[in-house]
Amino acid sequence: MDALLKLDTHLENRHAQLKALKDHGRKIIGFTAGGYFPEELALACDAEAICFIEAGNNTALMNAGGYTCRWFDPFWRSQIAYLTSGKDPYYNIADLIVVPVTDNHVRNFSNVLGYFTPEKESFVFGVPHVKDKIALDYYLKGITRLRNRLEEFTGKEITDARLKQSIDLCNRERELFRQISLLRKSGEYFIQGRDFIKLNHGSYLADKEFMIDILEMYLREIKETACHPKGGPSLLLTGSTLAHGDSKVMDIIEECGGNTVVEEFAECIRPYHETVDTEGNLMKNLAESYFMKRVCPGWFRPGTERLNLLIKLAKEYNVDGLIWYQLMFRESYKVESFFFPQMLKKEAGIPMFVVESEYDAMEAGPMRTRIETFIETIKR
């Protein structure tokens, strides 16, 4: 696919491009994964927004040992390692780091950010774990404070016109992701799971307008290419986090003849099902979309909204099985993995299988045995 090759080239040069922009006065806003930072706010004050989505390297994890305990989510330990290493190009280039605190793992990261790298400008705000009026107001206040900080930091006022323009841009990106994803539902097109993930990951670092061009190009290419759906079992892949650099589970699934046709992750996969309204109070609309409409991650109470979404996706995408990709020590997901298989079997009639990772190289063999067996089992 030319679109993917073009994206690769852009990403190879992206850091240099950001550096050049920074040298000319453009601010670089880095934000942590989780989907609660409205990128529109950064774009509306003419800043670049990049998300920290790299993980999967066990050596990096070891380097977090001086800042946090061993029993923590490996993705967030990786972020701590990259942040404190002083060697990560994207953490280094960010002028301001925005951290929407979604759970204790993210809070730990924000603590390290404050205590161990005080020279880094940061903005931390909380994300509630329930969806009600009070929680919505709290989130709205958080992003309003963020807006004020961004205006002050960049020296650019976020006018309604600029904000609307940014929302339109991000809506277009979300809409394109949705259209591409929906093609997988029809069964007429074959989109390799790892390609969809690549687009998703790329969108967190790429220039927004360039990314929209890439998505449009990819959509055209998929529609024009006579693709035959792959014969292997169709899978739904879910979990808390699917980081850039953590391709083990996707690779094994594809090597074993499985085909990921839909995925659901709280971190590092962009929520694209909902767009933001562009009429009325735009800040309220952002809060409504990013907090209320977006299906919540596993740490929300109650967790039924996400589980019901998984059942809905399993049915709509006509999957043969669900793989629950569990990062070790992400306990909110772990507890659900015990009871959800029964719920899924009852509601959607498909099996679920849990694989666990701590980004360890030695996991690959046993993980492959498990996934290969699961795929063999559902093939029959």
Partner 1 sequence: MLVAGIDIGAATAKAVVLKDSIISGYAIRPVGHDVKIAAHGVITEALKNTGLSITVDKLDYVLSTGYARNTIGFAHKSATEIICHAKGAHFLIPSTRFIIDMGGQDSKAIEVDSEGNCINFIMNDKCAAGTGRFLEVMANILEVESMSEMGPLALQSDEPCIISSTCTVFAETEIVVLRAQGKDRKDLIAGVHRASASRVHSMATGLRCVPDAVFTGGVAKNTGVKKYLEEEFGINFLVPPEPQIIGALGAALIAQTHTANISRD
Minimum CB separation of residue 328 from partner 1 in Å reads: 8
CB-wise, 13 or 377, nearer to partner 1?
377
Three-state DSSP string of 93-153: HCCEEEEEECCHHHHHHHHHHHHHCCCCEEEEEECCCCCCHHHHHHHHHHHHHHHHHHHHH
Write the CB contacts of 337 (distance below 8 Å, at least 6 apart in sequence).
324, 326, 354
Minimum CB separation of residue 249 from partner 1 in Å reads: 14
Q: In this structure, are strands 121-126 and 96-101 parallel, antiparallel, or unpaired?
A: parallel
Instruction: Give dist(CA 266, CA 238) in Å, integer.
Output: 9
CB-wise, 129 or 379, nearer to partner 1?
379
CB-wise, 159 or 369, nearer to partner 1?
369
Strand order in the sheet with 96-101: 48-52, 28-32, 96-101, 121-126
In the chain, where does DSSP find H-type helix? 2-23, 39-44, 58-62, 74-85, 89-93, 104-116, 133-154, 160-186, 193-203, 208-224, 248-255, 282-287, 304-316, 331-348, 364-379
Q: What region, left, alpha or beta, does residue 34 occupy, with left being phi > 0 and alpha being psi -120 to 50 degrees?
A: left
Instruction: State the residues that interact with partner 1 by CB under 8 A.
Output: 338, 341, 351, 356, 358, 360, 363, 365-366, 369-370, 372-373, 376-377, 380
Minimum CB separation of residue 103 from partner 1 in Å reads: 23
Minimum CB separation of residue 369 from partner 1 in Å reads: 5
Minimum CB separation of residue 365 from partner 1 in Å reads: 5
CB-wise, 106 or 371, nearer to partner 1?
371
CB-wise, 262 or 354, nearer to partner 1?
354
Residue 78 CA, chain-centre distance (Å), reads: 15
Write the CB contacts of 212 (distance below 8 Å, at least 6 apart in sequence).
169, 172, 173, 176
Write the CB contacts of 134 (distance below 8 Å, at least 6 apart in sequence).
128
Minimum CB separation of residue 307 from partner 1 in Å reads: 17
Minimum CB separation of residue 192 from partner 1 in Å reads: 22
CB-wise, 294 or 370, nearer to partner 1?
370
CB-wise, 173 or 363, nearer to partner 1?
363
What angle (nearest 5°) sits at the alpha carbon of residue 57, between those of residues 51 and 62? Answer: 105
Minimum CB separation of residue 375 from partner 1 in Å reads: 10
CB-wise, 262 or 378, nearer to partner 1?
378
Instruction: Give dist(CA 120, CA 319) in Å, integer.
Output: 45
